[in-house]
Structure 1
Amino acid sequence: MAALQGDVLRDISGAGGCGVQNAVQVRSVSGVSLSSPLVVNCDTAVTFNRWVSEVAIPTIGNTGGGLAQIQTPGGYACRGVVGSRNSGNRLSEHGRGKAVDVVAFRLRDGSSFSVLNGWRSAAWGNILRQLHRSACGMFGTVLGPEANAAHRDHLHFDTASRRSAYCR
């Protein structure tokens, strides 16, 4: 598995239970750059790197020359859960640095495809569904466009501790 590139950060403290222990800021995973630095805990970075190496790169293969960049809006964000009827005031795994959202993929030839526009498309739908499905088991939670309206435009992966993976 290719290396992570980034920096080790100090632990992050936040209000209301937010914060990240063993925080890292990741710029690339398995030779694939990230559109913006991803701040997560070390375990989440390692799991995301494994998913890119073992799932995303082989699934995309040589399409468009291969995977060049993953568009992710970041990682750590001190906020509550969104999109669930039962969410109430529960802290999102983003608030613990245990979650990654993936919005789009850029290929080496400059073309790209997004979760929002590609999920139901003939060109990218099967690839996106395979990327989503194959994350189940690696991550504690995997959510995509069919989970709820809040996830219609991205794939959500988190390393929450669960008895069994939650995949929607």
Structure 2
Amino acid sequence: LAAVRFAIDIIQPAAKAELGANLKSLNQASAFVCRPRHGGGKLSEHAFGNALDIASFTLSSGRKIDIGPALPEKDAKFLNAVRKAACGPFKTVLGPGSDADHSLHLHLDLAPRRNGGTFCQ
């Protein structure tokens, strides 16, 4: 439900404002996967159904925007707007520039943080 609200309330308006097109779909890299976090024994938020990895966005025009470190300027502005707005509704937001594991997707999760904070990179 959080992902649907986020797509409607944040991603769609950002696509229209930054790219002049409507959002058609989110293309996920991973959602529910029962696995540990990278390099650790603690289960990933994906194991609890609390995380979503977005690999790309498809616009109503059919154009696909892949998430990565070197995007054209308009696409980068769109992704930066989405990423910034994700920090709050989601408690963890990682993507290109965070670390090598998140260089080609946007990771969003609802893991509770100490003092109700967020971890956004």
Mark yes or no: TM-score above 0.5: yes
- Give the superposed CA RMSD: 1.6
TM-score scaled by length of structure 1: 0.65
Higher RCO by CA contacts (8 Å cutoff, separation 6 or greater): 2
How far apart are residue 122 of structure 1 and its match?
1.6
Q: Work out the CA distance in 2 between the residues paired with 1:160 and 1:149.
A: 21
Q: TM-score, normalised by structure 2?
A: 0.89
Q: Distance in 2 between matches of 1:65 and 1:141?
A: 27
**Rg larger in structure:** 1
Distance, in Å, in 2 between the alignment partners of 1:58 and 1:122 is 18
Change beyond 3 A, Cα 1:65–1:133: closer
Letter in structure 2 aligned against 1:132: R
Asked if the contact 1:67/1:108 (under 8 Å) is kept, the reply is yes
Return the alpha-carbon distance in structure 1 between the equivalents of residues 21 and 14 of structure 2: 13
Q: Does 1:77 align with 2:33?
A: yes
Gaps of 5+ in 1: 1-45
Q: Tell me, yes or no, if structure 1 residue 51 matches structure 2 residue 21.
A: no
Write out the 4+ residue segments of structure 1 that deviate beyond 2 Å after TM superposition: 62-65
Higher-strand-fraction structure: 1
Match for residue 135 of structure 1? Answer: 86
1:154 aligns with 2:105: yes
User: How far has the Cα of 1:64 moved from its partner?
Assistant: 5.7
Bigger helix share: 2
| Paired residue type of 1:48 | A
Shift of 1:65: 3.4
Q: Percent identity?
A: 31
1:87-98 matched pairs, under 5 angstroms:
87-98=39-50
C-alpha distance in 2 between matches for 1:51 and 1:108: 18
Deviation of residue 135 (structure 1)? 0.3
For the residue of structure 2 that corresponds to 1:123, the secondary structure is helix
